[in-house]
Each structure stands twice: as C-alpha cells, then as structure tokens.
Structure 1
Amino acid sequence: MYSNGDRTDYKKRVDWFTIALYLLLVVAGWFAICGASYDFDMSRLFAFGSRPMMQLLWIGLAVVIGFMVLLIETDIFESLAPVFYVAMLGLLALTIFIAPDIKGSHSWLVIGPLRLQPAEFAKVTTALFLAWKLSQSDFVLRGMKSYAYAFGIIFIPVLLILMQNETGSALVYVAFFLALYREGLTGIFLGIAFCAVLFF
C-alpha cells in the first residue's frame, strides 16, 4: 500500500503525456492497417482472423501488459536489466537456428498459432540495459573505452539480428545513438553516420 506521499510520487513518475502519444500512434497505425486491408465487404474486414482484428487483439493485449508493467516497482527492472539483456541475446542466437524460413528471414518463432519476433523484445531489453549502464556512478560516456562498451551493448543484438536476415529491425537500433548523444557522445560519430548515409 502507498501512503499519500508515496502515491503522489508514483503519479509524478508516470509520464502520461508520452503514454497518450503512444496510444495515439497505435490508433493511427491501426487505421492505416484498416486502410491497407480495406475490403468493400465490411464484415470480412472485422472478421475474426482478419488482419485488422488480429492487430486489435494484440493492441488490447499490449495495453493490459503495459498497465501491469506500470504497477511493477521500477527497481526490479533496474536490478534485472543485465539478466534480461543476456537472456534476450541467448534467445536471438537460438532464433537463428530454430526459426523457420519466412520470406528469406529466420527471425520469427512459431509457437502453435502464435508468431513472435524476438528482435522486437530485444529493443526493450537493450534500452533497459543501456540505461542501466549509463546510470552507473562509475560509468562516464567519455573516451574510447566507454564508447566501445556502449557501442557493444547496441551492436551485439544488431549483429545477431542481421544473422537472421532481418535488416529492417536491425536498422531501428541506430536510434539508440541519439540517446547516447544526449548522454554526452561526441557529435563526430553522428556526423560520420550522416555523411555515410548521404554518400551511399
């Protein structure tokens, strides 16, 4: 149970503005899926098993899981971040060998009627572990040693995902460098990356 002071502090820690933006993007994405799957027969569009309906079920499940995550103490995520990260690396490596070939990619685990892509979950564990490392009092993002450590956290899952022939998911991890830049990464790396994109 929370005292009044603890309850107030808890409410302050929840970023409702970001949650509202996230839900808005999810709703917009669902309407985009409906538009891409549009059929003049509306009953087929919303039939169980159709793409919009399946996405709606996943959205509902995500909202429930998100609510449950908000109820969990943040200390758990901080203390277990390295465990989550290492476990997800193991799952990414395992996926390379056991995932079926789906359109040339070995990135989807098929469990009965469910298809799960570990690369999506790895984004969360990578973000958690990177944030955990950057928050350590003895870690300062300055110098080649600290850069190599931070880059390693990002690039190890990227390499495993590339081995699954899932380049699209791997490219998303580039966004982590924006977080590193905010934490003190020199702009030289971003400049080099921008020039490389421009050149190629």
Structure 2
Amino acid sequence: MVRETNRHFKFDWITIFLFLLLVGFGWLNILSASHSGTTIDYFDFSQPFGKQLVFILLTFGLIVLLLAVDAKFYERFSSVIYLVSMLSLVGLFIFGKNVNGATSWYAIGGMTLQPSEFAKTATALAVAKYISDLNTNINTLKDQIQTFIIITIPAVLVILQNDTGSTLVYASFFFVLYREGLPQYYLAIGISGIILAILSLKFGSLATSIMATIVIVGYYFLKKKRLKVFQSVFILILSIGLSFTIKYVYNNILPPHQKDRITIWLSLEKDPVKLEKMKQTIAYNLNESEKAISSGGFTGKGFMEGTRTTGKFVPEQHTDYIFSTVGEEWGFMGSTFVIIVFVLLLLRILHLAELQKSQFSRVYGYGVASIIFIHFFINIGMVMGLIPTIGIPLPMFSYGGSGLWAFTILIFIFIKLDSNRINEW
C-alpha cells in the first residue's frame, strides 16, 4: 500500500522546483514594478501584483488537476484539444475583445482570457501526436507538408488578430521537427533567409543580390560535386527574388509601427538626428528599459529600490518589460541568475525528453522546451535592444493569468507524461 501511494508522488521535482522558483521571483518583480506608495497592501487585488497572486494561487489547483489526469488522456485526446483550441481562435473574430490593437482576448466577467497562449500547448500536442503516429522520422515531403499545416493554421489565425509576437512562437517548432528528422537543408534555407532579409534592408536589394551572386557562384566552383548548375541558378534566382520582395514588403506592406521598430533596430534612418528622435518617441519603452538595466550595475539597487522602476519610467513594466526591473534592482548578478535558471529549466526538459521511451512524450518535450526558449530569447533580447521590439511575455515572469496558466499547462503535461517513465516498475 505504501509502495502504491509513493508512486503517485514520483515526479521530476527538479523541473517543478525551477518552475516555482521562476514564478516566485517573477511575482517579486511584478510587485516592485507595479506597487505605488511607501506602504504595500499585498492583498490589494486592484493592483497587478495582487491579481497575479490570485493567478498563482489558482495555478496550484491547476497543477493538481493536470497531474491527476491519466497521462494517456493527453495523447488520446490531443486532436480534440487541438480542434477546440483552433475553434477558440476562430471565435475571437466574432466575440473577441481588442486590447492594445490585437483582437486576442475573450472578456469573461471582469477577466480576460487569451486563447492564443493555450493554442501553443494544443499545437505541441497535435504535432507530437501526428509524428508519433507516423512512428518514423518526418523525411517524406507529404509528412513535412502535413506537419507544417498543423503548425501554420494557428499561426495564421493569430497573425490575423494582429498578434505578431504570438505568431513568431510557432517558428519554434522548427527545432522539434529538426530533432525528428527534418532535412538539414531546411535549416540552411531558414538561416539564409534571415541573413538575406537583414542585408536587403541594411544595404539594399541590388547590393545584396550582388553579394548573393558572388557567394553562390563561389560555392558552386568549390563544391561542384554537391551542387549542380541548375540548382545553383535556381538558388540564385530565388535569393535575388527574395531580396527584392523583402524590400518591397518593408516599404509598402509592413504596418508603420513594425517598420519603425525595424528601422530603429537596424539604424536604417540615415539622418542621425531623425534616428535619435525616433528612438526617443517610438522606442521610448526600449530606451527607458535599457537605462533601467544599465543603472543596476553589478549588484543592483536593491529590492523595491530601483528609482526608474518605482518612478514608472518604463510604461507597463510589469508585463513585457519585466526583465528591466530585474536588471535595475538585482543588477548583473540577478539578471545572470534569472538567465541561468531558464537555461537549467530548458536543459532539464531536453534531458528528460531524450529519456522518454514514448515518441509522443519525446516530441512533446521538445515542443515544450522550444516554446519556452523562443519566448525567453525574444523577450530578453527585446528588452536589451538586441532584436526588434516584439510584444511577447517572459514565461512565468510577466504579469498575466493567461500566460501563467498556459505555461503551467504546457510544462506540467510533460511532467505528467514523464512520470510514466519514472513510475515504471
């Protein structure tokens, strides 16, 4: 009887500890970024830190529920979960509430719910189910196309709601597919496309086309055995076409606010005075975020002692720019600590994914790690000015019930799947 009882508590406690550590430290920074005045009522539910505390308490009940469900349920009903999630995204076009320009929320009483956050988990389950049903690597064109369709459907629905940040997350599934046998040339295409885009915007389509021609011709003469003439010509035409297309999209199709963010990031404005003015107006949040982080120094100013944080210099600092609070109040040491915890969590999930005997569990584990990584990478890169400004929360850290619960579901489904391996006799 004791042996049977102990089986129910055999979970990977390292992953659970790292998750709780991020949630707890995240709440402290939300408290610091959102409180006003010298006295603090920790149970002031009109403030973001009070609301987040409620979300965290409800999260514990959600965890118990997720771990109580039989692990086979998630695999068996993954397709149903995916279908329901897609319907919830479609429903936003009729019943959705517009928040900050994105129609991504359902208003339920006094609360709002963002289904795109939960759609990431549903997509990870659907991809894991499809690949595991194949019982092989996705090395045929048919399997690749069908997998891409599963990923593309929610991405398209989300981008139509003007939520670019959430759309980019679906690119993280590339890492999952690569692990499961996606040919390496997809990786080469992806990296080359990113490089071409940056060069086209920075130096112009003509100069980029000339550079692409030199590289492709040079590669052909060095690697004749690997690359045929018609392949070289096709790649060259594709590269030149992509270069001019990117420039056209940037000038004529991209929304002004997104165009401005890229202009600032790549310093595309030739007039230094105009560029600086753009940084002071359009990139105000980013400028203040960078100032807050740099002012923290090595050890930080101390908890709730950050002058730029308490002075509300960074608008909505408790959401996407929460990491700037860490930088100012906890300094380089605190920022490094947060990054290390995230890296440890990612490495732990990947390690557990490789230990899985079920392909479904392994693929899903890689999906979990990939989604968390892309959120972590983009958010911190954005806050520090390393990549363009993209509205995307820091997992377990940023304020918001939908985000916290979505990542809780994402992680604890995997913990439950992994428990089957741990509890085997």
Q: What residue in structure 2 maps to residue 82 of structure 1?
A: 79
User: Considering only aligned residues, what root-mean-square deviation do their CA atoms show, in Å?
Assistant: 2.2
Name which structure has the greater RCO, CA cutoff 8 Å, separation 6+. Answer: 2
**In structure 2, what is the equivalent of residue 140 of structure 1?**
137
Task: List gaps (5 residues or longer) in structure 1.
Answer: none
Q: TM-score, normalised by structure 2?
A: 0.43
Q: Distance in 2 between matches of 1:86 and 1:92?
A: 10
Question: More displaced, 134-143 or 70-79?
Answer: 134-143
- 1:34-56 CA deviation, whole Å, 9 max, x = no partner? 23224333325651221011111
Q: CA deviation at 1:15?
A: 2.6
Aligned amino acid, residue 104 of structure 2: S
Counterpart position of 1:155: 152
**Residue number among 93, 96, 106 corresponding to 1:99 in the alignment:** 96
In 2, the alpha carbon distance for the partners of 1:28 and 1:179 equals 29
SS at match of 2:74: helix
Question: Please, which runs of 5 or more residues in structure 2 have no aligned partner?
Answer: 199-425
1:50 is the counterpart of 2:56: no
Q: Aligned equivalents of 1:100 and 1:76: distance in 2?
A: 32
Runs of 4+ more than 6 Å apart: none
- Aligned residues of 1:107 and 1:118 also touching (Cα < 8 A): yes
The answer on whether the counterparts of 1:139 and 1:146 sit within 8 Å (CA) in structure 2 is no
1:178 shift after superposition:
1.2
- Who is 2:323 aligned against? none
> Separation in 1 of the partners of 2:18 and 2:26?
12
1:41-79: CA deviation from partner (whole Å, max 9, x where unpaired) = 332565122101111111221221012111110111111
Give TM-score, length-normalised by structure 1: 0.87
* Aligned partner letter, 1:70: L
| Cα distance change of structure 1 residues 72 and 174 upon mapping to structure 2, 3 Å threshold | same
Q: What is the rounded CA distance, in whole Å, between the counterparts of 1:179 and 1:73 in structure 2?
A: 24
CA displacement at 1:189 relative to structure 2 = 2.1
Tell me the amino acid that sits aligned with residue 109 of structure 2.
G
What letter matches 2:113 in structure 1?
A: L
Q: Distance in 1 between matches of 2:183 and 2:26?
A: 35
> What is the alpha-carbon distance in structure 2 between the residues aligned to residue 148 and residue 3 of structure 1?
49
Counterpart check, 1:60 vs 2:36? no
- Deviation for aligned residue 1:3: 8.2
Contact 2:105 2:114 in 1 (8 A): yes
Q: Residue in 1 aligned with 2:22?
A: 25
* 1:181 equivalent among 178, 182, 199: 178
SS at match of 1:141: coil
Q: Which amino acid aligns with 1:175?
A: S
Q: Secondary structure at the match of 1:26?
A: helix
CA distance in 2, matches of 1:22, 1:170: 24
With over 3 angstroms needed to count, the CA separation of the structure-2 counterparts of 1:187 and 1:148, relative to structure 1, is: same
Looking at structure 1, the residues matched to 67 and 42 of structure 2 have their Cα atoms a distance apart, in angstroms, of: 33
The one-letter code sitting in structure 2 at the alignment partner of 1:151 is F
Q: SS where residue 107 of structure 2 aligns?
A: strand
Amino acid at match of 1:4: R
CA gap 1:63/1:196 in 2 versus in 1, 3 angstroms: farther
Indicate the residue corresponding to 2:3 in structure 1.
Answer: 4
Greater Cα offset, 90-99 or 31-40:
31-40
CA displacement 1:68-123 (0-9 Å, x = unmatched)? 11111011111110001011111101112221222211100001111000001111
**Structure-2 residue corresponding to 1:193:** 190
Q: CA deviation at 1:137?
A: 4.6
1:56/1:80 CA distance change after superposition, 3 Å? same
Alpha-carbon offset, residue 196 of structure 1:
2.9
Q: Are 1:172 and 2:172 an aligned pair?
A: no
Counterpart Cα distance in 1 of 2:63 and 2:150: 25
**1: distance between equivalents of 2:95 and 2:157?**
14
Aligned amino acid, residue 102 of structure 2: S
- Give yes or no for contact 2:34–2:48 (8 Å, CA) kept in 1: yes
- Match status 1:122 vs 2:119: yes
Give the distance between the partners of 1:77 and 1:38, measured in 2 at CA: 40
Count of aligned pairs between the two proteins:
197
Structure 1 Cα separation of the partners of residues 64 and 26 of structure 2: 20
Q: How far apart are the structure 1 equivalents of 2:26 and 2:190?
A: 29
Amino acid at match of 2:121: V
Change (3 A) 1:16 1:118: same
